Each structure stands twice: as C-alpha cells, then as structure tokens.
Structure 1
Amino acid sequence: MFPSREFRRLSLVLLAIFFLLAADQGFQNWIKEFRKTAIASGISGETYDRAFEGITAPDPWVLEKARYQPEFVAPVWQYFDNRVQKRAIMRGREEKQRLQPWLDRIEQRFGVDPNILLAIWSVESSYGDVLDNEKVMRNVIRSLATLAYADPKRGKFARTQLLAALKILQSGDIDKSHLTGSWAGAMGHTQFIPTSYQAYAVDMDGDGKRDIWNSVPDALGTAASLLAKNGWRRGRTWGYEVTIPERKLPAGTLTVGEWEKLGVKRVRGQRFPRRDDRAELKLPDGRGGPAFLMIKNFFVLKRYNNSDRYATAIGLLADRIGGAPGLVHDWQRPFTPIDSAETEELQRLLKQKGFYEGEIDGKVGPGTRGAIKEFEKSIGVEVQGYPGREVLEQLRKN
C-alpha cells in the first residue's frame, strides 16, 4: 500500500524543517568562525557580537534574489521609459527647489551639477521612497553574511563588504537598526555598497555622522564625492544628442571638431561649446534611434554604475530636471508610448481583471509585460506585451 498524500506532504515538511535546522546550525558555526577574521581586520568583539545579535539563520529572500536573478534584458525603450519619465522629472524639480541651499553647497564643494545628483537619487532609490519598503530593504549584516555563507559566486565579494559594513557600524555613523540595504548590500538614498561608502562618504550636514540613510544632504554629498574623486569636470555636461550622416563612421574617440568634420551635428541647430573636447559616439538603440557624443563626464558616471544605459539615463534625466526638452529622436518602439500615470492606470486595470499581481508603480518590467500578454490572449488579439496606448485603450473598453 502506498503512503497517503497527507503522509507524503507531512514527510516533505519535516524533511524541509530538518534541512533548514541543519543550515541554521551551519550558519551559526560560520558566524562564530568569521568572528576571528573580523577581529583580525580591526573589528572589536563587542561590535561583532552586537551586529550579529538575533541573527540565527540566513535570509531566504536574499538567497532567492541571488540565485534566481532573471535573465530578462529590457528593451532599450523600456529601460529609459522606466527611468526618464514624467513623474521622476517633476519630483526632481520639486526636490531641487526644496533642497536648493544644500545643492548649492554640494556643488560649491565638489563641482558636480545638482541635476546629476537628483537624477542619481531618482534612479537609485526613487528619491528615497524605496527605503520605506520593508520587502526590499534588509538588515545589511544578515544579507551579506547570507551571501558570504551560502553563495559561492558572490562569497568573496560579500565577505569584503561584510567587513566594511561592520566597520561602518563600529564607526558610529549608523546604528544597527538603521543599517539596511538591498539584498546585495547597497545602502541608503544613493545605494552605496559598504566599501564605496568607506571611500567616498561625507558628513555634509555637519552632525558628526556620514548618514546616507537618513540625511539627504549626506547622501547627495557622498554621490558628489564619488564623482569628483573620479574626475568629474566642473561646469561641463555629460554628452550631446546629435545627428549622424548615412555613411559609416569610425569607432573610438575623436575631438568634437573632428566629429563635426565627419558630418556629426548637434540637434536643434545648437553649437558645441568646446570643439577640442574628446568624445565617443554612442548609439544605444542602433542607427534608427537617438545618437550621442559622450564626453568625459559620461565616463565618470560609469564609475557609479559601469553601464552605458545607466550613465545615459542619468544624463538624460538630469537634463530634463534642469528644464531641457526631450530627445529629438525617440527610441525605436513598436507601439504608441504612454506616460507614467497612464502606465499606472494600465497596471491597475490589469490587476482589476486578474492578470497582474505586482506593484502599481508606473514602471514596466517582465511582470507587467507578462500580464499584458495574458490579457491579449484573453481577448483574442495578437500577443505582443507592449505597454502602449493600443493595449490601454483595449483595457478601457473591456
């Protein structure tokens, strides 16, 4: 006679509990052993014990994020639409007005354009809104210990960052209850990993602490410190939208004047302010999309996040916060775009109809596109998954 379904289910539960307890004991043993490494690195036993007080098991959510990072690569239009959008632009202008005295002080000290700092703040933490989300903000010590103990791929990185986080705690800049960050340990309004915090953090507001979690001036000053120390050029932009000729153009870096001779021109008939700047041509969406000449500060932005898309998004959002118009040449997209408020409406309608379970945030990811596809299947139209006006009108009708 075969075991009943209930018996098999109970057996699986008991087996899972057994392995969980075994993992917990292994984790606790690891914490005891790593204490020696921490003390040898200059961390006091008191700091270490205080940091790990109450931490008895790895964080399963961190392991899930680490092991199941999606392979989905966002189309170019989706990447930029989620970051350079109306709500982020308007909020940036509001924050600029509110923080103008601090932004002036930071610019005077570090020479970094305040609009760039506001754009970084937006992209990294939605102007700090994400810091209140307990689902994604975790105990940094536990997160990094989890990765150091259980993730062979990130173990070395996590151990280095864990030691740095313990030193931050020991310094008194932040207490344990506020030492929170992403699943991989990125912290505060401007999402610094612990070693970057150690290298660049500043006490901008003068309270004796470098608090990027609770002090926006400290966070923005720290971002400016990173850019300044990596060669930011005061008073210069990051790049220019340009038009390019039909013929093939060389790869690599030329002066702006040399690019002009090859037929590369600024959009809207504008002139380049310095023809001797060295620049590289970037086509993020191929020849059919917008083209840019990128100069020194673009490559400094990549020291924050080594991605052409990231640095371009920061530059474009900063320009819009500063009052510049949008792109002359839009991204190549097979649908009619909608703004972030309309995207939230789209998500709401999908949720009401039972197709979407994610957050109503106006940002399109695989969850939103998957829900659109399911809706399109349900009404018998071509399944594409594009978050455009066409599908929004269908949702409003149905």
Structure 2
Amino acid sequence: MIQHYKKLLLAAAFVCTHTAVANNDASLAEKEKQDFILEMSQKHGFDQQFLTKTLDQAKVKQSILDAISRPAEKTLTWSQYRNIFIKPKRIEGGVQFWKENEADLNKAYQQYGVPPEIITAIIGVETLYGKHTGGYRVLDALTTLGFHYPPRSKFFRKELLQFLLLTREEKVDPTEPTGSYAGAMGKPQFIPSSYRHYAIDFDNDGKRDIWNNNTDVIGSVASYFSRHGWRRDRPVTVPASNVDNHHNEMVKAGMKPSIPVERLREAGIDIDEQIRPEQLSSLVELMVTDGKEYWAGLHNFYVITRYNHSNMYAMAVYQLSQEILKARKSTES
C-alpha cells in the first residue's frame, strides 16, 4: 500500500512539474510575442492592435514542430535522397515545364546567365513544378517556429518580421499565404526574406507572384542565383576519383570552394582535365549504398547550396538538371 501511495505521489509530482514547465514555456512565448509586437510597432510603424489581432489568429501546430525536427538530409543517405528526386516523373515534368515556358527560360538565361535546366530543376526539386507548394499557412508556420522552437526561434522571428513587411508591401492579408512547414512560399519555395530581396516582377505586370505566374517564378529563381554569384557557362561539379581516407582534411574544408583543383590533383585525386588547375573547389563526400562517392564542388555548385545549405540538395538539383537536359535533347532529335 505504501509503495502504491509513493507511485501516486511520484506521478502527481511529474504532472505538476510537466504542467509548470508547459506554463513557463507558454508565458515565455507570450512575452516574446509582446516584445515582437512592440519592436514591429516602433521600428517598422505597424499598428499594435493590427499585429495583436493578426498573431492571435496564428495557430501553433505540433505537426510543424515535428517536421522541422526531421529534415530528409539528416536522416537519408545520398542514394536514398537521390531516389526521391531523380525519377522519370520529375524528369518528364521538367521537360514539359521547359517546353511550356521556353521563352521565359531563355530570357532568364540571356539576362542572368542561369541555364534553363538549372532553373527548371530547382522548381522540380522544390515543388514538383508547383504541384506541392505546402499546405500550412505561413503565419502559422513562422509563429509556431518563432515562439515555440528555441533552437532556431531567432531565425524564424526574423522571417516572421520579413513576412509581415512583405505582406504589407504586396498588399496581401497575412493570414492568407500558404507554404511549407518552414514558411517557404510558392513554386520556388522562397522564405520571406528571399522573397523580399530576390523575387522579381519578370513580366512587368506590377506584381511579384511566385505562386501562379511562371514568368515571375523563373525570373525570381534566376535573380536569386545571379545575386549569389552564378557564373555564366561555367561548370557546376565533376566526379572526383581515387579519393581515400588520406583526403579527409580536404573533405572537412567545408562547402565553400577553397582548394585549387591543382592541389587536389597533386594529392592524387583524379579530376576532369578540362577543369582549370587554378579553379577553386570543395571536395564533396556523399554516402551511397556501397560506400562513398566524391565530387569536386565548383563555384556554381556552391551557389546552388545558397538556395539550400546541403550538398545533397545541390547534387540533386544538378543531376536532375542534367537528366532533364538529356531527355529534352532526345525529344528534339
């Protein structure tokens, strides 16, 4: 009987502690929200009542917190990740998207130097050419992550700030836009800060519509890459062979190209001879079913990682782009 009472007391203590922690978390979130409203009012001229009403309409969603905790890049090998994106459906969809939007893709290439297959592949990887743009309200996503996800709350509060500025500028009700669990929007999945800084009105109709206007979508992706330093008609990546454990320090040097190709060759690594020796590269390591594969990540590969900071993402975009290009050429021959 005494043991039974002890168990009951322990259970009650756990419930009380858990409730107290939850209440503290809720109180902290509410304080941070009020501080955010005050800052938006003082620095950006928002009406406090409008912001309070808007944020009160936001719904905190556990599904968003669950999704942000398990991104595919952290849980899949490259072989598994590749199989998600390099599929006939996505390749055929890319050929069709290119065919339907050829004039805009050519215009983007002429103006920004970003080839049609790269722009098409980005849209294909992000949303399957607009079929999957996300079903969460952006307001819900950014409020949930901005006030209830401590590991990255500062980042998402900044994106919430950018979102509110964006909707004011574009004259859009902030409760209406939908996107991913992380608040990314439209066919190219721009987060609010990217939307404000890189989205363009490519058809000059007075709007930057990245949901329904493919002209704006294409121009905005090209603008993003151009602003991040894309180099016209330069290679993206090439295989690197004869790599072993002696080259680990080169792998650990990071995403940004910092190793002259000549040095990679001097270390015994085989790189396509067409790549200039002075060109800087990273050494990209990818886990595959039967071990590892390696690539020389050149400048334009690094630019792709500015869209999503993942070597696997950049490689998926690149390889999808090449499959789309090959399939398109086969339909023309």
**TM class, shorter-chain normalised?**
0.7 to 0.9
Identify which of 294, 297, 311 aligns with 2:297.
294
Q: Given that residues 148 and 159 in structure 1 are in contact (C-alpha distance below 8 angstroms), is that contact kept between their aligned partners in structure 2? A: yes
> Structure 1 CA distance, aligned partners of 2:24 and 2:246?
62
**Which amino acid letter does the alignment assign opposite residue 234 of structure 2?**
R
| 2:321 aligned partner | 318
| Counterparts in 2 of 1:59 and 1:22: CA distance versus 1, 3 Å | farther
**Structure 2 counterparts to residues 1-398 of structure 1, below 5 A:** 34-45=36-47, 48-49=50-51, 52=54, 55=57, 57-66=59-68, 73-131=75-133, 136-172=134-170, 174-176=172-174, 178-241=176-239, 243-244=241-242, 251=250, 253-255=259-261, 259=265, 262=268, 264=270, 266=272, 272=274, 274=276, 276-285=278-287, 290-323=293-326
The offset of 1:282, in angstroms, is 3.1
Comparing 206-215 with 168-177, greater Cα deviation is found at 168-177
Comparing 151-160 with 26-35, greater Cα deviation is found at 26-35
Q: Which runs of 5+ in 1 are unaligned?
A: 1-18, 326-398
> What SS is found at the alignment partner of 1:198?
helix
| Counterparts in 2 of 1:22 and 1:192: CA distance versus 1, 3 Å | same
Comparing 182-191 with 26-35, greater Cα deviation is found at 26-35
> What SS is found at the alignment partner of 1:241?
strand
> Structure 1 CA distance, aligned partners of 2:226 and 2:125?
19
> Structure 2 CA distance, aligned partners of 1:28 and 1:258?
53
Q: Given that residues 173 and 210 in structure 1 are in contact (C-alpha distance below 8 angstroms), is that contact kept between their aligned partners in structure 2? A: no
| Counterparts in 2 of 1:304 and 1:67: CA distance versus 1, 3 Å | closer
> What SS is found at the alignment partner of 1:107?
helix
**Which amino acid letter does the alignment assign opposite residue 78 of structure 2?**
V
Count of paired positions: 304
Q: Given that residues 236 and 318 in structure 2 are in contact (C-alpha distance below 8 angstroms), is that contact kept between their aligned partners in structure 1? A: yes
> Structure 2 CA distance, aligned partners of 1:205 and 1:215?
9
The offset of 1:178, in angstroms, is 4.3
Q: Given that residues 55 and 143 in structure 2 are in contact (C-alpha distance below 8 angstroms), is that contact kept between their aligned partners in structure 1? A: no
> Structure 1 CA distance, aligned partners of 2:49 and 2:169?
10
Q: Which runs of 5+ in 2 are unaligned?
A: 1-20, 251-257, 329-333
| Counterparts in 2 of 1:304 and 1:72: CA distance versus 1, 3 Å | closer
> Structure 2 CA distance, aligned partners of 1:210 and 1:51?
26
> Structure 2 CA distance, aligned partners of 1:151 and 1:118?
33
**Which amino acid letter does the alignment assign opposite residue 159 of structure 2?**
Q
What is the TM-score when the length of structure 2 is the normalising length?
0.76
> Structure 2 CA distance, aligned partners of 1:74 and 1:230?
28
> Structure 1 CA distance, aligned partners of 2:214 and 2:262?
37
> Structure 2 CA distance, aligned partners of 1:70 and 1:115?
24
| Counterparts in 2 of 1:51 and 1:212: CA distance versus 1, 3 Å | farther
The offset of 1:240, in angstroms, is 1.9
What is the TM-score when the length of structure 1 is the normalising length?
0.65
Report the RMSD for the aligned CA atoms in angstroms: 3.9
Q: Given that residues 129 and 187 in structure 2 are in contact (C-alpha distance below 8 angstroms), is that contact kept between their aligned partners in structure 1? A: yes
**Which amino acid letter does the alignment assign opposite residue 84 of structure 1?**
I
| 2:254 aligned partner | none
CA offsets 1:20-56 (integer angstroms, 9 cap, x no match) = 9999999777655532221123143289449717716
The offset of 1:297, in angstroms, is 0.5
Q: Given that residues 58 and 145 in structure 1 are in contact (C-alpha distance below 8 angstroms), is that contact kept between their aligned partners in structure 2? A: yes
| Counterparts in 2 of 1:30 and 1:290: CA distance versus 1, 3 Å | closer
Q: Which has the higher helix share?
A: 2
| Counterparts in 2 of 1:248 and 1:194: CA distance versus 1, 3 Å | same
Q: Given that residues 236 and 297 in structure 2 are in contact (C-alpha distance below 8 angstroms), is that contact kept between their aligned partners in structure 1? A: yes
